[in-house]
Every structure is written in structure tokens, then in C-alpha cells.
Amino acid sequence: MYNRAEIIDRNFLTFVKEGRLPPARALAALSESGLTHAELIDLFESQVISRILDLRARELKNENQCYYTIGSSGHEGNAVFGKVFRITDMAFLHYRSGAFMAQRAKQLPGATPIYDALLSFVASSEDPISGGRHKVFGSLPLLVPPQTSTIASHLPKAVGAAISIQRARDLKIQSEMPSDGVVLCSFGDASANHATAQSAFNTAALASYQGLQVPIVFICEDNGLGISVPTPRNWIATQFSSRPQFKYFYGDGLNLAQLHQVTREAEQYARTKRKPVFLHVSTVRLLGHAGSDPEWSYHSMTEIEEAEFNDPLLHSARLILENNLLSADEILALYQDVKERVRNISSYVIRLPKLTRPEDVRATLTACTRPRPLPPAPTEGARRELFGRDFEKMSTTPQHMAKLINYGLADILAQYTNAVIFGEDVAKKGGVYNVTDGLFAKFGPRRVFNSPLDETSILGTALGFAQNGFLPIPEIQFLAYVHNAEDQIRGEASTLAFFSRGQFTNPMVVRIAGLAYQKGFGGHFHNDNSLAIFRDLPGVIVAVPSNGADAVRMMRTCVKLAQRDGRVIIFIEPIALYMTKDLHVEGDKEWSFVYPPLNAADSEIAVGEFGVYDNVESTGSDKSTGAGRYQGERDVLIITYGNGFYCSRQAENELREKLGLSIRIVDLRWIAPINWEALMGEVTKSRRVLIVDECRKTGSLSEALVSGIVERLNSNSQMTKIKVVAADDCFIPLGPAAAAGLPKKAEIVTAVLDLMGPQGERAK
């Protein structure tokens, strides 16, 4: 009774043989569909392939050989999309797209869609897309980036990819899609309600309204259910049939003839008009949401059986029979032939190797099989013209961090012609803190542009651009704002290389203005001091410079790694240090630096390379690194980053001048990954370690540093004494109390003295 897979299989064989088929659908005329007889049979075969794969997945699950049973049964009409759209049209797919993949593969001679799908089912390491890491629909030669999303988080990047097509043509970027390409993305009716989907729809409409080309086809496969929750009748049609900037088409997912006719119209509209299309396709859902879904717990058996009789394969069989293309016996023979092929191939793939070792699983976290070449640096003449009056003073006049980052971004845009900078207010205004000031005038609106006030849209656009040949450098205006859209980094950007074995990557550098110490302005929403959401993302690089010179060198490294290796990088810019020029007293200019030369030996800072300050006297040594006057063991080692380094430098000056203590300070610069080998080399030089962390103590980097240091210390040696000064576990208020719970010079001085003991004596 409850093995509906067996029942659906048996029903097809019985009903076709007996001619007991569902009634004809409206507008079913094959002559009007644009399909030849052979093409209709070909589509039907793809539907059958998808169905038999679903049935075989259930059988393999019962044998403990299959690990994924969300199937495509009831949605097999999407084979039409695999035929109508070109293989050069990038496709971001719903997880019920089995027939699409089977049909699209027919555009590629030598493709093996059944074999590939079964490899994915059994999590074989020979799966050509994920290597056994996930069951996903994806293929590099079919231009289908894998999506692990179960809702709608792939829609924003699909919009970004669509917008990028015209931009790539205008800028002559070597892109993945041709200039007349379109993007399609499919999703379910329940997913259309998700905030991420609404963001994508709004961005597509807004961009089109502003005159940008947005050749995208949103394909809503409407089966009326979100697992057990029904979608209200006519909800999708009501919401999207008259939506401004969208061209709405309705397709019958149970009628290949009508669906093919409508899909061709939708495809042509998107391709020629270069405007968004919403293709609403009615389907049914068979076999429940997944193999683990007991559909009878929320649907009556009558409802289940009614849906099963509305099987799209039965509808297609009726259309074939009515047009005298095949006999019932020939249809059944085709069905049985596919079943035999699937069974034979599956009996082979279950014996193929699977991932077992953790190092093999991790191997693709930052994989990149298609590195992009690094362009040459701009010539001196080109840079003179670019910077104008600033060119000479860049290398002679110390500047604050905001100005140096601005110079650095200009050099990057000049060198990397596929780089684009965008975000809220970054164009003519130059950003809230003027960091992008003048870039719009220098490089124009195609390369420096404003985004809607929607972080999901900003990051989604970056993802889409990245997959079409660009090097996006999006800006999130404040750190707190990224929480509205963090899944675009967590669920989408950070996972793509892992789940595609590096065949698809999201090269991008996300600039985020953040952290605290803004003298009471803005409250917690403009002073967010938590970086925890980035630190646990495998393979994602997190950079936090403490000064302008480091920021420029680190940004150069980040852009190079994104371009060449497809890396995803979060670049946190401490707002409070943007305009900071002085360190100890007003006018000392100790936090102002000249612009780092492009071609110097130290023009970049490698990931994991930290800065060291070691009681340097004013002898012409570098302000942030150098050999100090004390030799051997230091009294205290301070490990910090960002604003913490700035405050620690102030505290070190007081401790040295007043108490004669020797303090060595490590500025981590990169908080993910941590160069543990080098860091422990510093830790072992001191018996006292102070960690200064400007983020909230719970969930902060300080927790990881303490546990990491303790774990790595030699248990036979004298235990290093460790203390933490971190921000309070509290949000940041407005006004004078804003810095009350943050690490400051006074707290650092007190902590160092506590580490030294009651006498405050130097270690000998």
C-alpha cells in the first residue's frame, strides 16, 4: 500500500497496455506545438529516463546504496526546457530537474546522463560534478552550475548572471555565455514565497525598469505543495501574471505539445527582448516530497491516487498514441528498455569507489580547475594619467586608510579589466566613507555602479557576475547588514568549488565596512563587532587590515587569489581606522602611510603572514615591523588584529615608557586561515600571552586562539599563561557609552600587568 514507487511503475505498465489514460489536456494539438514526431518521442524518452532513475533510487535506498531520494516524478515535463534552451544558456536548476538534464545532455554528443545521475545517487567519487560530495544536478560541459539549495538561494545569482551578459559584451570580457545568451532558473511554487526569491524578482524587475538587459527565464514548476503545505489555488498566477517588468507565460507541465509551444515563445521573448520572463508551469508531485516523506500522513489515499493517475508520463503516452506515433507495445518496450539500461548501469556504479578519507573530502574546498590568467600591471604612463595630481604624492605623502584603499582599488580596476565594484552608494557618492570616491568618474558606470538597498541582491549579483567571467568586488555598507544575506556567502559562494570539484568557482572579494570604535555614532547596527559568521566557512579567506598600507597589500593578494584561484574572500575594513592618522598624540601621523609601490618585493602580503611590532625605537625602522631593542624572551606577547592592534600599540608605548616592559605584538591581519605554525613560533618565545579581540568574547576569534594555543603547546614545557581582553557580550549603544565594553588602552595595560603578577616585574 505504501510503496508508491512500485504502484506508479505498475500503473504505467497496466494503464498504457489497457488504454486507461487520463483525459486529453486543453490545447494539445501536436501540429501547433512546433514539435516533429521524432522530437516528441525523444522528449518522452527523457521523461522516462528521469522516472526510471527516480524508481531505481528508491530501490537502491532500500539496499543502502543510495543517499538521496528527492525525485523529479511529476515534473518530467521540464524535459522541454532541456530541448528549447541552448546548451550555452546557463541553467540554475531546481532539484526536480531530472528530465531537463537527460534532454539537455542530448545536445552534447557522447554525454552519459544516466551514468552520471547514478554516480551521484550512490555518492561515487567518480561522479563527474561533485565527486561523491552531494547529489546535485550540474555539469560543466552542459553549463549547469550545481545547486545544493532546497529553496531559492540560487535565484539572486541567476539574476546577476543574466545582467552580466550585456556588461560582458560592452566591456569585451571573456565570458561563459555568448552575447545573445539567456539564463534560466527553476524553482518550486513554495520557494517563490521565500525572501531570497522575492529579492531576485525585485532586482530583475528593477534592473529591467532602469533599462538594463535582464535576459532571464524564471521557471516556476508549480505542483501546489511545499512538502505538506499547500500553495493557495491560483496564488502564483495572481502574483506574477501582471507583475510589472515581467512577461508572464503559462505552460501545462502535463502536456508536452502545449508546453513546448509556450516555452519557445518564452525563450524567444527573453532572447530578443532581453527582458525577464516568468514561465509558470503546472505540474503534479508524485512519490511525496522525498523517500522519507510519508505523504499519507497529510493526504488521503484518494488524493494520492488522483495525482498518480495524472502522471505526466501517462499524458505523454496518450499524446503519442493519439497521433499514431507509437503503439502501446512500442511505448512499453521503450519504457522497459530504459529500465533495463538503468538497472544494468546501476549494478555497475554501486561497485565504484566512494569517498572515505577526510583529506579526500576536503580536497575540493578551494579547488579551481580553470584558473584565470593574471593581467600585467598598468604601465607608469597609464597610472600617471589615471591618478593625475595624486600620482607623485602617493609615494611620498602619508595617507589614512580610506585614501590608500581608494588608490589600491583604482590600481586594481586598471589592471583587472574584468573587475567591477558595486554596492549601495559606491558610484557618484563614493561610498558612505568616500572609500570609492572618484572611481566612478575614472572607470564609468559599467565598472563602478550602485546596487539596490538589498544585500541579498548585492551578493547574488556578485555570484552571477563571477560565474560569467567577471571579478566582482561588491561592497556591503556595514557589517551588520550582511546578516540579511549571509546565506549567499555561506550556502552559495563558499560551497560551489567544493560541490563541483573546482569546475565552477565564485571568484570574488567582498568588501565590508565594519567593527566598532566609532565614538558613539550609529549604535550597534553601525558598530557590529562579530565576525563569527565568516570564520567557520571552510575555504573562505577573511582579511582584517589594521592600517592603510597593509590594507592595500592585502587587497592585492586577495584580488590575485580570486582571479587566479577562484577564491572567495571577505575583506573587513575597520571603519574607525578609515580616517585615523595619529596613534599617540594629535599630529604624530603614526597611523598614516605612503602608498605601497606596485612592483616592490613587499607589494603584497601573503595569506597567513602576520605583522610583528617589537618595541621599535624611532630609528627609521618600519612602523609596523622590525627588530626591537630587547633580545630574547619578551615580557608579554600580544596577539590581536584590526582596531585591537591600534589599541595595543598605544598600550605598549605606555608600558614601555613607564615600566620598561618589553611587549611584542602580533597583528594577525588574516583571521581565516590562521598560520598556526608561524604563530606558535611566536607564542613559544614568551611565557605570557595576551589576546586582544575587539569582537564579542562569546564566539570570538579569541576563543579559537586560546584553545588552539593550548592544544599545540608542548605539554612537557612550562605552561604559557594566557589572558583575553575582548569586547563584552553586549550590543553597542549610542553616545559616550559606545566604547564602554570594548578593549581599550587602559584595559590592555591592566591585563598586561595582571599577567606580570603582583610585582609587575619583567621575566628573567
- 382-419 confidence digits (pLDDT tens): 999 999 999 999 989 999 999 999 999 999 999 999 99
pLDDT at 492: 94
In this prediction, residues 543-567 reach a mean pLDDT of: 98
pLDDT at 627: 36
pLDDT at 30: 84
Q: How far apart are CA 688 and CA 716, in angstroms?
A: 17
pLDDT above 70 covers what percent of the chain?
Answer: 96
Would you call 509 helix, strand, or coil by DSSP? strand
Which is nearest to 479 in space by CA: 523, 515, 441, 521? Answer: 515
Which is nearest to 689 in space by CA: 714, 719, 712? Answer: 719
In this prediction, residues 506-526 reach a mean pLDDT of: 89
Contact call for residues 207 and 163 (beta carbons, < 8 A) = yes
Is the pLDDT reported for residue 223 higher than 50?
A: yes
Contact call for residues 60 and 41 (beta carbons, < 8 A) = no
Q: Cα–chain-centroid distance for residue 721?
A: 40
Structure confidence at residue 738 as a pLDDT band (50, 70, 90):
confident
Is the pLDDT reported for residue 522 higher than 60?
A: yes
Contact call for residues 593 and 545 (beta carbons, < 8 A) = no
Least confident of 148-162, 398-412, 441-455: 148-162
Q: How far apart are CA 254 and CA 234, in angstroms?
A: 17
In this prediction, residues 121-127 reach a mean pLDDT of: 96
- 107-122 confidence digits (pLDDT tens): 999 999 999 999 999 9
Query: Bridge partners of 217?
Result: 184, 277
Structure confidence at residue 149 as a pLDDT band (50, 70, 90):
low
- 271-283 confidence digits (pLDDT tens): 999 999 999 999 9
Q: Please provide the CATH number assigned to the domain covering 611-756.
A: 3.40.50.920
In this prediction, residues 222-242 reach a mean pLDDT of: 93
Contact call for residues 719 and 745 (beta carbons, < 8 A) = no
pLDDT at 331: 98
Write the Ramachandran bin of 410: left for phi over 0, alpha for psi from -120 to 50, otherwise beta. Answer: alpha
Return the ∠ at Cα 736 (arms to 735 and 741), rounded to 5°. 105
In this prediction, residues 150-178 reach a mean pLDDT of: 95
What architecture is the 380-577 domain classified under in CATH? 3-Layer(aba) Sandwich (3.40)
- 241-295 confidence digits (pLDDT tens): 999 999 999 999 999 999 999 999 999 999 999 999 999 999 999 998 887 888 8
Rounding to the nearest 10 degrees, give the CA dihedral for residues 707, 713, 719, 721: -40
Host H or E run for residue 12: helix 4-18
What architecture is the 4-362 domain classified under in CATH? 3-Layer(aba) Sandwich (3.40)
Domain residue spans in the chain?
4-362, 380-577, 611-756
Mean pLDDT, the chain, rounded, equals 93
Q: Would you report the helix, strand and coil content of the chain in percent, each value rounded to 5?
A: 45, 15, 45
Q: How far apart are CA 470 and CA 467, in angstroms?
A: 7
- 313-353 confidence digits (pLDDT tens): 999 999 999 999 999 999 999 999 999 999 999 999 999 99
pLDDT above 90 covers what percent of the chain?
Answer: 84
Q: How far apart are CA 635 and CA 762, in angstroms?
A: 6
Q: How far apart are CA 467 and CA 450, in angstroms?
A: 20
The amino acid that residue 328 corresponds to is A
pLDDT at 623: 42
In this prediction, residues 125-134 reach a mean pLDDT of: 95
In this prediction, residues 434-449 reach a mean pLDDT of: 97
Is the pLDDT reported for residue 625 higher than 80?
A: no
- The more confidently predicted of residues 149 and 666 is 666
Q: How far apart are CA 706 and CA 725, in angstroms?
A: 12
pLDDT at 38: 96
pTM metric for this prediction? 0.94
